[in-house]
Structure 1
Amino acid sequence: MDSITILAVLLGVMFLLLGSGVWIGLALMAVGGFAIEVFAGRPAGDAIATTIWSSSSSWMLTALPMFIWMGDILLCTKLSEDLFRGLAPMMGRIPGGLLHTNVMGCTLFGSVSGSSAATLATVGKMTVPELKKRNYPEPLIIGTLAGPATLGLMIPPSIIMIVYGVMTNESIAAINIAGIIPGLVLALLFSGYIAIKSKTMRGYAPVQEASTTIWEKLVASRRLIPVFVLLFLVIGSMFAGYATATESAAVGVAGAFALAWWQGTLSWNSFSTSLMGATMASAMIALILAAASGLSLAMGFLGLPEALAQWVSTLELSSFGLIMCLLVLYMVLGCFLDGISCVALTIAIIEPMVRSAGIDMIWFGIFVVLAVEMAQITPPVGFNLFVLQQMTGHGMFKIARWAFPQFVIMVGMVFVLIAIPELATWLPKQMIPVAG
């Protein structure tokens, strides 16, 4: 049986398991064991057990639960209130007004949380009711929150970037640093859309904010100091080379605890809730990564990645053509799988093709994160859509329709990234290489 047929059979088995409700991690592990036993003719137990242990005991993975815990601690603080009240006086008089607090709030909180869902929940619980109160159109309120909330995946620290770094054996610090400039450019595109839409939308008549003096803006902006201090501690220590990604995550947890204590929101209940939430999320991701390592082993035994890379080379696709094919692939997968599962499912197969095409793996990591961001707002499994559905009570497909312009902006950002790859590659080259 040729490699393409084997791959088709394995994908069929995988989607059959996923469609029947089997956990993603268990489905990946089952497919890996099936491939080794049936197609490689080897006993799967010992080989997969050894691979799972070695991948699960990687020091690089220790950053993952720490960043998740930091985000969960920040959910218990008054950070959303501080973000809105600190940004509102500066945003009130520009085209689009306080809608920009969605973008700026998500950019700032995403830079310290590492999670799209945490960013959405934290920023949205303050901006949605405040913007409704001021008569901003609800489709714009929700749409301009759904897209920018995905910046929690792009702007470091990022959980997806850690997963990608572990699976490709690339520097987690370098990949995180690479997301800064593309993340800021994407935030500017979101704000640009808001400014244009506010001038062209019929019936756009929000309550105008009272003008404030420069001194009043400065006084209000003091509420943003905790975010910038935490950002400096986490990203600054990593960028300067004083800390690895894992060490900066530990610094971030300590900083989040200090902020919660200072605001008076640190209690035994918030501590235990955040710890349990981080533990559950980390265990889920660890299971998926462990299963993905078993699947990667099976793929290696069968030689499928190399065979697929050779088959793609016969198509004589340019690097641009390959990226376009992968973009379509991630768009389709994003409709059915969450971001981490998309990465775990595809990287083992795609990595050899990407390397053989001469594509920079740090740049490709940012491309993957951008594609995964799109998956957060595409039905029926867009995670941000679920969060917004719970927050607003609107149907998922209505929210997806309101968020569609943000999806188009992210697709456009892919082409910006292709046209100017230095957006992702320049900054990591300026930093001192730091392991994991």
Structure 2
Amino acid sequence: MEAFLSVGVVLALIFFYLGLGVWVFAGLMLVAATSLWWIMGMSIERIGTIAANIAFRYSSTWELAAIPMFIWMGEIIFRTDISNRLFRGLMPFVHWVPGRLLHTNVLGCTLFAAVSGSSAATTATVGKITTAELARRGYNRSLSMGSLAGAGSLGFLIPPSIIMIVYGILAEVSVSRLFAAGVFPGLMVAGLYSSYIIFRAVAEPSIAPESNERYGFRDYLSALVDLSPILVLMVIVLGSIYSGIATPSEAAAVGVAAAIAITIAMRQMTARLFVDTLLGAIRTSCMVSIILVSAAFLATAMGYLHVPANVARAIAVLDLSPWQLLLVLSVFYIILGLFLDGVSIIVMSLPITLPLAMQAGFDPIWFGIYLVIMVEMGQVTPPVGFNLFVIQGLTGTPIGKVAIASFPFFCLMGLAVALLWFFPDIALWLPRTLYG
């Protein structure tokens, strides 16, 4: 009873402060401070000292340096015509597949996710080209929006991933191992999306209108040239990490340098573009970092209140099997995804759920991949599904219709979680092979 009472108090405070409309980071700080002052009876001075120490410790974490670098790289790609080249480059390769250009959403997001790390950035960058082109060519509007919403979430799962860096810092596990663990699950989810599009296209050919376009050898060579900027960045960033040449933070800096060099080579780099991309990266990085620090403060406060330990003991008394615990956690994360963004979900819940997962025998690397997929599901669920808002802005479609279009892909993510449960080596084989 004590466990659920303390959790209830913390949740009530969270809903109270966030319900006032304050920023997420301020709400988390207030929840932590109020809990320590009201329940623990700590002085304001003591609370301030704890907050300052946490802010210094987390803001000086070396792994955190990768976040602004990956965000900056995504900003550079977003503001140049690399995304246009991505669409043109994919066209010949998907023309013969049932569903044709609908697959550009999936493949485009898969490739862009490998150099971005952000779900919203992936959705916006690929969607600014594909939504207009697919509509102009007469492709099914609902499937176009749904596949973009689902595939855009791959920005979290396919490395490099900002969410994985946040999880790695908080769970104190290797970010490089997490990146390796995300490769095959990311490709699996992309494969499920494309398989669904193929199934729909075979069952209902009208969703992908016939085309008289024909492609020859020169067209495929030209397509590879268009894809080369993204492919080069993928090789540089992921190759440097998996070869052991660079850490994720160092690889992010190398990736930014490569993105700038490619943009200069394409004669698109200007002083204005440089400043705009840098300011955009600063704004997003500050938002992520301050949420991370405030959530760490909340996690510390919950530790003082013994919330994780009490909840772990309470659930242990229920004697849930691992799959029952996973089912309960999945429902819990789906509910959180209705109201919170991905970073907030992870940093607010991890102090409670990670000890439970470890106690049940889950590998922390596997649990990280599972958690990322659950966060992805929140990206396509209203009322706070970020990908839904991005697509609404791109197409002008009401958010409810975008959510309905995305529902099949939400279910496919659930199927991916089930496959991970039955075949955990989908996530664990590559990091075990690369790092032992």
Q: How does 1:214-229 map to 2 (within 5 A)?
A: 214-229=217-232
**1:390 corresponds to:** 393
Residues 246-270 of structure 1 show CA distances to partners (whole Å, capped at 9, x for unaligned) of: 0000011111111211222211111
1:360 paired residue number? 363
How has the CA–CA distance of structure 1 residues 209 and 326 changed in structure 2, closer, same or farther, with 3 Å as cutoff?
farther
Residue equivalent to 1:230: 233
Match of 1:59 in 2: 62
- Note the C-alpha offset of 1:126: 1.3
C-alpha contact 1:335 1:382 (8 A) present in aligned 2: yes
Please tell me whether residue 332 in structure 1 is matched to residue 335 in structure 2: yes
| 1:216 alignment partner AA | D
Task: Give 1:215 shift.
Answer: 4.5
The residue that corresponds to 1:294 in the other structure is 297
Return the offset for 1:209.
4.2
Aligned counterpart for 1:197 among listed residues 187, 200, 221: 200
Distance 1:395 1:179 in 2: 32
Spell out, residue by residue over 1:200-230, the C-alpha distance to the aligned partner (whole angstroms, 9 max, x if none).
2374351414232344323322211221111
CA distance in 2, matches of 1:51, 1:385: 34
Amino acid at match of 1:401: I
**How many pairs align?**
433
Distance 1:291 1:204, change over 3 A: closer
Higher alpha-carbon deviation: 334-343 or 45-54: 45-54
Tell whether 2:12 aligns with 1:12. Answer: yes
C-alpha distance in 2 between matches for 1:400 and 1:2:
39
Who is 2:36 aligned against? 36
Unaligned runs of 5+ in 2: none
Give the SS at the match of 1:156.
coil
- Equivalent positions of 1:169-318 (< 5 A) are 169-201=172-204, 203-204=206-207, 206-318=209-321
Q: 1:423 to 1:154 in 2, by over 3 A?
A: same
Cα separation, 2, equivalents of 1:111 and 1:209: 32
Q: Aligned to 2:74, which of 58, 71, 75?
A: 71
Rounded Cα–Cα distance in structure 2 between residues aligned with 1:280 and 1:226: 25
RMSD of the TM alignment (CA)?
1.4
Are the equivalent residues in 2 in contact too, given 1:135–1:207 (CA < 8 A)? no
Deviations 1:300-345 (A, max 9, x none): 1121111111111111111111111111111111111111111111
SS at structure 2 position matched to 1:181: helix
Note the residue ranges of structure 1 that are not aligned, 5 or more in a row.
none
- For residues 334 and 348 of structure 1, the distance between their equivalents in structure 2, rounded to whole angstroms, comes to 17
Contact kept in structure 2, 1:153 and 1:369, CA below 8 Å: yes
In the other structure, the counterpart of 1:141 is: 144
| Contact kept in structure 2, 1:76 and 1:265, CA below 8 Å | no
- For 1:134 and 1:3, locate their aligned partners in 2 and report how far apart those are by CA, in whole Å: 57
Aligned to 1:130: 133
In the alignment, which of 168, 173, 181 is matched to residue 165 of structure 1? 168
Q: TM-score, normalised by structure 1?
A: 0.97
In the alignment, the residues of structure 2 paired with residue 203 and residue 110 of structure 1 have an alpha-carbon distance, to the nearest angstrom, of: 29
Further displaced range: 217-226 or 55-64: 217-226
Give the SS at the match of 2:268.
Answer: coil
Once the two structures are TM-superposed, the CA of residue 49 in structure 1 deviates from its matched residue by: 1.8
Whether the 8 Å contact between 2:71 and 2:281 is mirrored in structure 1 is: yes
TM-score (norm 2): 0.97
AA at the equivalent of 1:58: T
- What pairs with 1:75-114 in structure 2 (closer than 5 Å)? 75-114=78-117
Q: Is the Cα–Cα contact under 8 Å of residues 100 and 208 in structure 2 kept in the other structure?
A: no
Cα distance in 2 between the residues matched to 1:60 and 1:84: 33
Shift of 1:348: 1.3
Residue of 392, 408, 412 corresponding to 1:405: 408
Mean CA deviation greater in 118-127 or 205-214: 205-214
Q: Secondary structure at the residue paired with 1:336? A: coil
Give, in whole Å, the separation in 2 of the partners of 1:252 and 1:29.
34
Output the CA distance in 2 between the equivalents of 1:119 and 1:248.
19
State the match for 1:381 in structure 2: 384
Distance 2:126 2:83 in 1: 5
The answer as to whether partners of 1:93 and 1:209 remain within 8 angstroms in 2 is no
Q: Is the 8 A contact 1:73 1:256 kept in 2?
A: yes
Query: Are the equivalent residues in 1 in contact too, given 2:77–2:83 (CA < 8 A)?
Result: no
